Structure 1
Amino acid sequence: MLVSLNSLHWIYLIFILLIIGVMIRKRDTTLVCILGILILGVVATKSLPLAVTGVFNSLIYAITELLGTILIISIIYGMSKVLEATGISEVMISPFTRFIKTPTLAYWIIGILMMVISWFFWPSPAVALMGAVLLPVAVRVGLPAIGVAVAMNLFGHGIALSSDFIIQGAPKLTSESAGLPVGDVISASIPLVITMGVVTTIIAFISLKKDMKSGKIKVQENDTNIALFSNEEETEGDIVKTRLSNKTKKTFAIIIPILFILDLFIMIRLNLQGGDATALVGGTAVFILILISMFTYKNKGMEQITEFLITGFKFGFQIFGPVIPIAAFFYMGDMGFVSVFGEVLPEMSEGLVNDLGVALAHAVPLNDFVGAITLTSVGTITGLDGSGFSGISLVGPIARLFSTAIGGGVATLTALGQVAAIWVGGGTIVPWAVIPAAAICGVDPFELARRNLKPVIIGLIVTTIVAMFII
């Protein structure tokens, strides 16, 4: 049924366009989102005090919806820091160094290993885990540091982060904003992630080999002399690492992957998805953090558990700080508006976004091609802030809007927007987003972003075309 659009719908649409415009200008969207919620509240309730209260309640609503995602990422990061501090992470990775014999093997082994580790630990900590051990090995066999950075970027911040199959931070965020089960978005993303990953990594590899052959890029003398930490931190880290024997580190290095593999087996056996699957991984990570902290720090273990958790929570809220206001605004496009402001929507309304989608379907002739191009464009724009996560709440409502107009494909459109947003902003082609990998490898972040640009753009074009045929 076509619901008559009122001022709330038009205000919401105007602020969506304003947010996109602000993102294009590479400015922060928090102020625009909060003003949007305030104005919607004033119009809906005819009361400034209630609207101001609604702004705060909308943030609470967003945090409540996102809390599981924030917690899992925080806990995983905290666990990764204890693995890094004790040297267990180095032992986990070191067996793979014996297979790195040529630049080609270095590129693909580092990339695939980065992807797998990033699925379990997220790319940010995975970069540090990988760089310390595998960068010197890769350089020694002839792969320049820029090649290592490209591999870690594309496989970690690209493939792993845009799919996020294990931790499910990204698909949970986009699925909730689109009103879908997280499993639907993950399933729809698989062909898109495979297409994007294959195209970008192969093109990047061909470009690297071509430039290495011509001498345009080559191993530099300082590639292996990269300081990952300050002297004080390095000394302290070395002291901590000596507290565990090599045998103990190897034991933990075997136990930890086994525990996560058991998690995967349990997920498949019990058909756990979404929050249940996330909780299983998160709980496992908590107990790994506790076990290693107590085993390593003995009497100070209880305090160290808290320290590592605090480190994780700082990271989690730093990542999601910019996400919460924009998520709060876009949750207002769904029935979250009713939760915050009460029953103020028009009769028979299914949410502002759905109403706009139905109206759009009656006003404009849309098709799969227009929908796919639009979602890729929106995802790309939201990624320009260099976060990848701060704007992906936008792709869900827009995917629903277009899917309503074209009669289906909401999961594929949502997944497409997610893939585009994270490949652009998650750390592959925005210079200020690639800094972690660039710093670890000692390369210029702008050079790294330039080298990733062509493969990522071609990948987005091919992936969008594939999406058009599967919507």
Structure 2
Amino acid sequence: MGVVTTVTAFYLLNRDMKNGTLKGGGTLEVEMDHTSDLSLLSDGAKKFFAILIPVLFAADVAAMSILDLQGGDATALVGGTSIFILLLISLAAHKNKGLEKTTSYLIEGFQFGFKIFGAVIPIAAFFYLGDSGFIKIIGEFLPKTSLGIVNDLGVALASVVPLSAEVGAVTLTAVGAITGLDGSGFSGISLAGSVAGIFSTAIGAGAATLTALGQIAAIWVGGGTLVPWALIPAAAICGVDPFELARRNLLPVTIGLVVTTIVAMFLI
């Protein structure tokens, strides 16, 4: 999936660049202060921090593995390390004004984060409404056996198709893609596994292949390539139009899903 999609995207971009049809499109503008002086740090200091930063984050990974840190504890460790690095660099660059500059950098970073990730809020709302969050927000209007609006669509599709290796592969891809439409690449993983279990029992083989196929489809569709759950922040950081990015992702991802589905048919 990854190889086919990447190669296809590279070919299409390279073709458009040669033909002169590649247009940058709009950009998501985020006002930032780019007046920083790159000469604040000496060459020796730059090399020192270039080595120190990966070492500190590698130490974080080791600490999380050894101490079994997860969730908020792991986040606090990484965040604390980041602030520590920021403080060291600010003190090295600005000397006596290091603490003051650290505060301004933190404020600037928070502003940048709010401007970028603020667009994710309505998408997150759609995700929660499409999943089990519907009951918590709207009320218990869905049937007791419901898995959420989006997941119910996947179950309905799986229940009306014949059971064979080829149809099973196509169905798992469709189910994964549908569950990915809520903007998350992971909410439909359990559903894909359940549907794969049904098909593999009827076919007599291919449980692992079908499960992986459904999960791949859900992640690629909803994990930030076609549905802007992670696409908007990435597009904003890169300074490109998220809608143009999604449009360009559509054909390579679709080709990748088709090829992956065909290959899965032979592996079942």
Q: What range describes the TM-score normalised by the shorter chain of this pair? A: 0.5 to 0.7
- Equivalent residues of 1:204, 1:452 under 8 A apart: yes
Distance 2:70 2:58 in 1: 15
Q: Percent same amino acid among aligned pairs?
A: 33
- The one of 200, 220, 234 equivalent to 1:419 is 220
1:262 is aligned to 2:262 = no
CA RMSD of aligned residues (A): 5.2
CA deviations 1:301-326 (Å, max 9, x no partner) are 45325414522551464143123322
> How has the CA–CA distance of structure 1 residues 435 and 377 changed in structure 2, closer, same or farther, with 3 Å as cutoff?
same
Asked if 1 retains the 8 angstrom alpha-carbon contact of 2:5 and 2:256, the reply is yes
Q: Are residues 1:252 and 2:252 paired? A: no
Contact 2:176-2:216 within 8 A present in 1 as well: no
Contact 2:9/2:252 (<8 A) preserved = yes
Mapping for residues 20-39 of structure 1, pairs under 5 Å: none
Which whole-Å CA distance do the structure 1 matches of 2:118 and 2:137 have between them?
27
Distance 2:264 2:61 in 1: 28
1:381-400 equivalent positions in 2, closer than 5 A: 381=181, 390-392=183-185, 395-396=188-189, 398-399=191-192
Determine the C-alpha separation between the residues in 1 that align with 2:9 and 2:142.
50
Change (3 A) 1:207 1:322: closer
Question: Residue 379 of structure 1 contacts residue 417 of structure 1 at CA under 8 Å; is this kept in 2?
Answer: yes
Against the structure 1 CA distance between its residues 464 and 317, is the aligned structure 2 distance closer, same or farther, given a 3 Å change threshold? same
Match of residue 203 from structure 1: 8
CA distance in 2, matches of 1:211, 1:313: 33
| Pairing of 1:36-185 with structure 2 (within 5 A) | none
| Number of residue pairs the alignment of both structures matches | 243
Matched residue, 1:16: none
CA contact (8 A) 1:372 1:468 kept: no
Residues in 2 aligned to 1:438 and 1:371: alpha-carbon distance in whole angstroms? 37
Higher helix proportion, which one?
1
The answer as to whether partners of 1:420 and 1:460 remain within 8 angstroms in 2 is no
Say if 2:6 and 2:252, in contact at 8 Å, map to a contact too: yes
Question: Distance in 2 between the 1:324 and 1:339 partners?
Answer: 13
Q: Deviations over 1:205-259 (max 9, x none)?
A: 44566677xx5359xxxx9xxxx998x944x323xx3433333223222211222
User: Could you tell me how far 1:418 is from its partner in structure 2?
Assistant: 1.5
Q: Is the 8 A contact 2:179 2:188 kept in 1?
A: yes
1:330/1:399 Cα in 2 relative to 1: closer, same or farther (>3 Å)? farther
Structure 2: segments with no counterpart, 5+ residues: 202-206
- In structure 2, the residue matched to 1:402 is 195
CA contact (8 A) 2:87 2:99 kept: no
The amino acid across from 1:353 in the alignment is L
1:361 and 1:273 map into 2 onto residues whose CA distance is 35
1:290–1:305 CA contact under 8 A, matched in 2: no
Partner amino acid for 1:425?
V
**CA, structure 1 residues 279+417, in 2 after alignment: closer, same or farther (shift >3 Å)?**
farther
For residues 258 and 275 of structure 1, what CA distance do their matches in structure 2 show?
22
1:314 partnered with 2:108: no
Question: Structure 1 residues 256, 323: CA separation in 2 closer, same or farther (over 3 Å shift)?
Answer: same
8 Å contact 1:293–1:304 — kept in the other structure? no
* Residue of structure 2 aligned with 1:243, choices 40, 46, 50: 40
Alpha-carbon distance in 1 for matches of 2:9, 2:191: 31
**Which AA in structure 1 matches 2:172?**
A
Checking the alignment, whether the CA contact within 8 Å between 1:199 and 1:458 is kept in structure 2 is yes
Contact residue 399 and residue 414 of structure 1 kept, 8 A:
yes
Question: What residue number does 1:86 align with?
Answer: none
CA change 1:279–1:325 in 2 (3 A) is same
**1:327, 1:393 within 8 Å by CA — same for their partners in 2?**
no
1:374 aligns with one of 174, 195, 213: 174
The answer to which of 260-269 and 270-279 deviates more is 270-279
Q: Which has the higher contact order (CA 8 A, sep 6+)?
A: 1
* Structure 1 CA distance for aligned equivalents of residues 86 and 54 of structure 2: 14
Question: How high is the TM-score relative to the length of structure 1?
Answer: 0.38
- Indicate if the aligned counterparts of 1:361 and 1:405 stay in contact, CA closer than 8 A: no
CA distance in 2, matches of 1:464, 1:278: 37
Contact 1:330 1:397 (C-alpha < 8 Å) held by counterparts: no
Q: Shift in Å at residue 339 of structure 1?
A: 11
Residues 430-469 of structure 1: matches in 2 within 5 Å?
A: 437=238, 439=240, 454-466=251-263
